[in-house]
Amino acid sequence: MGNDRRTKVNGSSKDEQLEQYRVEDEGKDLTTNQGLKVSEDEFSLKAGDRGPTLMEDFHFREKMTHFDHERIPERIVHARGFAAHGEFELYDSMKEYTRAGFLQDTTKKTPVFVRFSTVAGSKGSAETVRDARGFATKFYTEEGNYDLVGNNIPVFFIQDAIKFPDLVHALKPEPHNEMPQAASAHDTFWDFVANNQESAHMVMWAMSDRAIPRSLRMMEGFGVHTFRLVSEEGKAHFVKFHWKPVLGTHSLVWDEAQKINGKDPDFHRRDLWESIENGDYPEYELGVQLIKEEDEFNFDFDVLDPTKLWPEEEVPVKIVGKMTLNRNVDNVFAETEQAAFHPGSVVPGIDFSNDPLLQGRLFSYTDTQLIRLGGPNFHELPINRPVCPFHNNQRDGYGRHTINKGQVSYHNNSLAQNTPAPASKEEGGYTHYQEKMEGRKVRARSESFKDHFSQATMFWNSMSKPEKEHIVQAFSFELGKVKSKSVQKQVVNMFANVSRELAKGFAEAINVEVPEGEESRVTKSSKALSQENTIKKPATRKVGVIVGNGFKGEEVDMVLTALKGEGIQTEIISDKLGVRKGDDATKLEVDHTFLTGESVLFDSLYVVGGEDEDKKFSQATTYFVKEAYSHYKPIGATHEGIHWLEEAGVSGSGVVTGDDMKEFAKELITAISAHRHWDRQLV
């Protein structure tokens, strides 16, 4: 259902442009890569049926050589990724701010390709780990590809790209034993944090619920860096980019996230894939924060510091468009794995700032693709090709697809009338913003970058009580895994500068004393930072419906119809696969057994039961209910299902029961919309 959406550019689509590369193998004769039809693919060529394989078996060598090289080096970071195609549509023209064509014309839809990823883990790691998430968007514009390469957290650990290898070496599994995988809960990471205190703000985000998103569809995205928008007249504004999920920003709880890693390590990609296949297309609104150049120094933070955000109360986010992901990839390797992103892939009207982390990324990304994708022609791979033509004097190299005609491959020349020739600004040529530069060559950090704690404290001040408790628990877990008492003590001392309340909370858990001192004097907060204030919608939530034979067919059907009417997905759970029959003609096809449909894989439970269920059924249902309750999820029950709630001892906020099906359905939908019920008292 989701695979028939195409975004038109110049009368054709990105998909149509790639059509020449798509191959359907079904029903075709087997050939070599040169097109030679193969008569035998079961046995290698031998000298006799028990003799040695002959070197002249070109088919064997081609087949085996290709297999030997099927895996390209995985990304050093962001290795575990999943992606989808879509389109971007502009709400309001930004011509006042930028000459970028795709940000001016509200009648056009720009094709996009988005890759989501975890940062720390290898390609085979699980997906609901505590980690930052990559949010990289490739816009296939008529002026060339524009890559907005960001994260789901608006700040970063370090201020200068020269420290990036140090950060990643500390974060990755420790080299002496290659553990732990996809986790920051170990000595070298926290040793780095304690001795590189510019990381304080990012660590607060990483220890918050933002680091364990419920879904890639319910996750904010940020450009992280400060960029520039430049108008046709040459006037520049500093800009930060935001992706705001239409469904709101929601998270897992830590115990749930850990269990999902075991139950379904593909949880996030499965959710994205199935949502698109079901036609529940993920949507994100593009927002921009703009600061006039003359206002650059009017804030209590440096606008170029990548460890700082721009509080939305001080610099409002202007929503300018919407991105819809409406088509899954046809082949994960050819598209998701071979996709090459680069923050230096810009179009006229988008430029850079002097953020030292961004400046280093402008080198690093190209350098990385050279080794990962086998040479300088990675831009010619179908997923990376622009939708507009490209012409230059670059030639040859590994993986060259273009067949350049003619004798000239240099500039300046007369044999080809000095073409391809540079284009003027009026002809669409890219011109760099002319910023006046003065200063000595130094290896130094600006004094304005040296405040490491005030925004970390602002983040803490902005959290709701449950969010603060989760942050304390996250620090307690992470530091509880650290073996070095010295590192533990250093981290406690460091975060006492952020909040003594926070430091005391996790210091007690790891048996470390908090140093003497005063509470931070920073009182600033921002409502935009707390997920308590996010959009709450029931649409696309997944409800597990536990049923047995003899259920009240007509009444259950009424509830399921009401849930589906709100866009809520329902899946039937029972003790075995097959059909469950109601007390009338109603039949429900079972989607999961108690073994394959764990409660952690659902946002909510609706417990129906039946008339003749045995003790094992009852025990399994009670376990489901207790676990969902412990994760603060909404739970509904009717008829025979109510006694299982009573048996599990669950009640209170977010627990819905009743005999009036219309009212019950309404209350359950309201409870599902809330996502979690934090005021519930655990039994």
- The answer to whether position 180 is within a domain reads yes
What distances in angstroms separate CA 81 from CA 282, 400, 645, one per listed residue? Answer: 17, 26, 39
What does DSSP say about strands 350-352 and 227-230: parallel, antiparallel, or unpaired? Answer: antiparallel
Query: Rounded distance, CA 479 to CA 482, Å?
Result: 5
Domain boundary among 380, 406, 426: 380
Same domain, 258 and 361: yes
pLDDT, position 66: 81
Which position has the token pair 């201020």? 159
Q: Is residue 113 part of a domain?
A: yes
The last residue of a domain, from among 380, 413, 442:
380
* Count of domains observed in the chain: 3
State in Å, rounded, how far the first CA of the chain is from the last one: 44
Print the SS3 string covering 465-526: HHHHHHHHHHHHHHHHCCCCHHHHHHHHHHHHCCCHHHHHHHHHHCCCCCCCCCCCCCCCCC
Answer for the pair 141, 125: CB distance below 8 angstroms, yes or no. Answer: no
**For position 2, what pLDDT does the model report?**
44
Check if 177 is active-site. no
What pLDDT score does 4 carry? 52
Q: Would you state the structure tokens that stand for residue 113, as one six-digit string?
A: 């390709």
Residues 140, 184 share a domain: yes
Q: Are 293 and 324 in contact (CB under 8 A)?
A: no
Cα radius of gyration rounded to whole Å, the chain: 28
Q: Let me know whether 99 and 187 are in one domain.
A: yes
d(CA 550, CA 554): 11
In a domain, 375, yes or no: yes
CATH of the domain at 150: 2.40.180.10
**pLDDT given for residue 418 in this prediction:** 87
Are residue 507 and residue 545 in the same domain, yes or no?
A: no
Residue 1: what pLDDT? 41
Q: Do 136 and 284 belong together in one domain?
A: yes
- Residue 426 in any domain: the answer is no
Q: How many helices (H) and strands (E) does the chain have?
A: 16, 20
Outline where DSSP puts E strands in 225-377. Answer: 227-230, 236-245, 283-292, 318-328, 350-352
680 found inside a domain: no
Q: Supply 423's token pair.
A: 């284009």
What CATH number is attached to the domain comprising 669?
Answer: 3.40.50.880
Residue 394 backbone class (left: φ over 0; alpha: ψ -120 to 50; beta: rest): beta
Distances 284 to 32, 210, 216, 589 between C-alpha atoms, Å:
44, 17, 11, 34
Same domain, residue pair 201 and 101:
yes
Question: CB under 8 Å to 439, separation ≥6 — which residues?
Answer: none
* pLDDT for 12: 57
Distance CA 454, CA 498 (A): 7
In a domain, 628, yes or no: yes
Same domain? 239 vs 345: yes
Residue 572 inside a domain? The answer is yes
| Cis geometry, peptide bond prior to residue 538 (ω within 30 degrees of 0) | no
Please tell me the distance from the alpha carbon of residue 519 to that of residue 501, in angstroms, as a whole number: 8
Which of 59, 78, 85, 379 does the annotation list as catalytic?
78
CA 627 – CA 562 distance, rounded (Å)? 25
Distance between CA atoms of 287 and 274, rounded to whole angstroms?
27
352 part of a folded domain: yes
Q: Are residues 543 and 523 located together in one domain of the fold?
A: no
Q: Are residues 346 and 49 in contact, defined by beta-carbon separation less than 8 angstroms? A: no
- Indicate which CATH number applies to the domain containing 506: 1.20.1370.20
Contacts of 339 (CB under 8 A, 6+ apart): 83, 113, 115, 136, 138, 383, 384
Single out the residue in 506, 532, 558 at which a domain terminates. 532
Report the Cα 137 to chain-centroid distance in Å.
11
The pTM assigned to this predicted structure is 0.94
Together in a domain, 352 and 494: no
Going by C-alpha positions, the residue among 617, 593, 607, 618 that lies closest to residue 552 is: 607
Domain that holds residue 325: 81-380
Q: How far apart are CA 152 and CA 244, in angstroms?
A: 10
Q: Which of 59, 85, 145, 151 is catalytic?
A: 151
Query: 142 to each of 149, 248, 293, 350, 461, how far by Cα in Å?
Result: 19, 31, 28, 14, 44
Q: What is the mean pLDDT of each run of 10 residues along the chain (683 residues)?
A: 51 72 82 86 88 88 84 93 98 97 96 98 97 98 95 97 94 96 98 97 98 98 98 97 98 97 97 98 98 97 97 98 97 96 95 94 90 91 92 89 90 90 90 88 90 98 97 98 98 98 98 95 97 97 95 94 97 96 93 95 95 86 96 95 90 93 96 95 48
Same domain assignment for residues 107 and 249: yes
Is residue 272 within a helix (H) or strand (E), and if so which, with residue range? helix 267-277
- The label of the residue with tokens 């700032």 reads 353
* Furthest C-alpha separation in the chain: 90
Question: What single-letter DSSP state applies at residue 246?
Answer: T
Answer yes or no: do 149 and 256 share one domain: yes
Active site residue 461: no
The residue whose two tokens read 């994760």 is: 631
User: Do 514 and 550 fall within a single domain?
Assistant: no
Asked if residues 193 and 203 have their Cβ atoms less than 8 Å apart, the reply is yes
